[in-house]
Amino acid sequence: MPVIDKWLGRKVFAASLTISAVLLSVGTATADVSWLVLDTQTGNVLGHENAGKRHAPASLAKLMTLYLTFEAIQQGKLGWDDEIVISKNAAAKIPMKLWLKPGETISVREAVNGMIVISANDAAAAVGEHLSGSEATFARLMTKRARQLGLRNTIFANPSGLTDQTSQLTTARDMAVLGMALERDFPKQFGLFSQPSFVFRGKRLKGHNNLMHRYAGVDGLKTGYTAVSGYNLVSSLEQGKSHLIGVVLGGKTARSRDDQMEALLKRFGTKGSVTATPLVASNAPVPPRRPKRAIAPAETMDAAPIEQGDGDTEIALIPSAWQIQIGALPSQTAAKALLGNAQKFVRSIHGEAAGQIMQTQAHGTTLYRVRFDGFEDAKAAGKVCATLKRQRFDCIAVKTN
């Protein structure tokens, strides 16, 4: 028999939330992964595992930033066409971002689309600063409003979800509550989460919520990834009159996270499954292991950032004119290690440098390029390369256009 979920008080939802007595392990669930599936029509929690365990939210924090943005618009404090000035702090955020420069402006509509579709960190920081004066002040507002909505175990440290020295934590249960609150309080804006792409300054930027393309009825919400958080996902599923919110936190890979969410939605959906067949691309075989040999860094660009964004390998970037590359390795683990070793040093030389790992194919081999973006010209890129070489790093400057 189901029991009452005392986590969610009567002040938050009219309906009581119930938890299924049977807790099942679905897909790739492990002790490190948390999940929860919620029926938004009844308030029933259909199933969960480790739903109260705290995880770093990564870009899921932007759901709270978006909630406060929608609320400010609803209250007349903000307009869709209002212009937001980009600060030096916002412009310096690492990818994913819209690559805005200090002093440029962005409309509220562009900032919202940027946060939803490509998880733009510069847009999130700019919105937070615009509404509260600073990221820190806005983070306190995020946490306060989260408590009022019923997110009892969530602490926000900034609008974007980027890893912060202070605690920034949430739970699967709290993210489900936030997803439900967004649907309930902003039904018109909720449809924005289903956008697969949007056009920004003449460029079409593609999103990376891949589950929307492989599972019928999924219409948003948000992916998230940092090295600290692992791969996170909040999904909305509409099937007839039924509407579910699913949450997976702490996935080991983007694919395993998506696979687990698909399994959960099939298990708890209205009919236990969907009629649509997944896209062929979702069934692509895993590439075989390649010999562990280093490749020279001089190769062409293929953007696939995995750090501090959403952890996907097919995403649009607006790169600067020049980048530097310090290696191309056959192992993603080795590439992460190289990036970690070089990142602080590179940014100490060039403060606007943004580290990325890019996946590509060369001569039948999968490679992971370690690159840094944010250089205005060949001179700036060459200067950093010269310094890196003195520290025994390989380095080449790469023109991106």
Domain locations in the chain as residue ranges:
3-280, 287-401
First to last CA, the chain: 62
Range scoring the smallest mean pLDDT among 37-41, 255-259, 316-320: 316-320
Q: Do the domains at 3-280 and 287-401 have one common CATH topology?
A: no
Chosen CATH of 3-280 out of 3.40.640.10, 3.40.710.10, 3.10.110.10, 3.90.950.10 = 3.40.710.10
Q: What is the mean pLDDT of residues 320-346?
A: 85
Q: How confident is the model at residue 158 (pLDDT cuts 50, 70, 90)?
A: very high
* pLDDT at residue 294, rounded to an integer: 37
pLDDT at res. 7: 34
- In the predicted model, what is the mean pLDDT of residues 179-191? 94
Q: Over 80: is that where the pLDDT of 297 sits?
A: no
Per-residue confidence (pLDDT) for residue 400, from 0 to 100:
73
Lowest mean pLDDT among 34-38, 135-139, 369-373: 369-373
At which residue do the structure tokens 């010999």 appear? 291
Structure-derived torsion over alpha carbons of residues 228, 362, 118, 370, reported in degrees to the nearest 10: 40
Residue scoring higher pLDDT (28 or 143) = 143
Tokens of 255: 């694919």
Residue 5 has pLDDT above 50, yes or no: no
* Residue 320 pLDDT level (bands cut at 50, 70, 90): low
Active site residues: 59, 62, 119
Residue 18: the pLDDT is: 36
Report the CATH number of the 287-401 domain. Answer: 3.30.70.1070
Predicted confidence band of residue 32 (pLDDT cuts 50, 70, 90): confident
Kindly tell me if the per-residue pLDDT of 302 is higher than 80. Answer: no
pLDDT for the residue numbered 270: 65
pLDDT cut 90: percent of the chain above it: 47
Q: Is the dihedral of CA 170, 174, 175, 178 positive or negative?
A: negative
Mean pLDDT of 367-386: 87
User: What pLDDT is attached to residue 401?
Assistant: 61
Mean pLDDT within 62-75: 98
Helix ranges restricted to H, 97-248: 108-117, 121-132, 135-149, 172-185, 187-190, 211-214
The pLDDT > 70 percentage for the chain reads: 79
For residue 43, what pLDDT band results from cuts at 50, 70 and 90? confident
Give 312: exposed, middle or buried? Use CB within 10 Å, 0-12, 13-18, 19+: buried
In this prediction, residue 212 has a pLDDT band, given cuts at 50, 70 and 90, of confident
Q: Pick the more confident residue, 345 or 80.
A: 80
E-strand ranges in 241-353 read 242-251, 322-329
User: Between 278 and 296, whose confidence is greater?
Assistant: 296
* Predicted confidence (pLDDT) at residue 30 exceeds the cutoff of 90: no
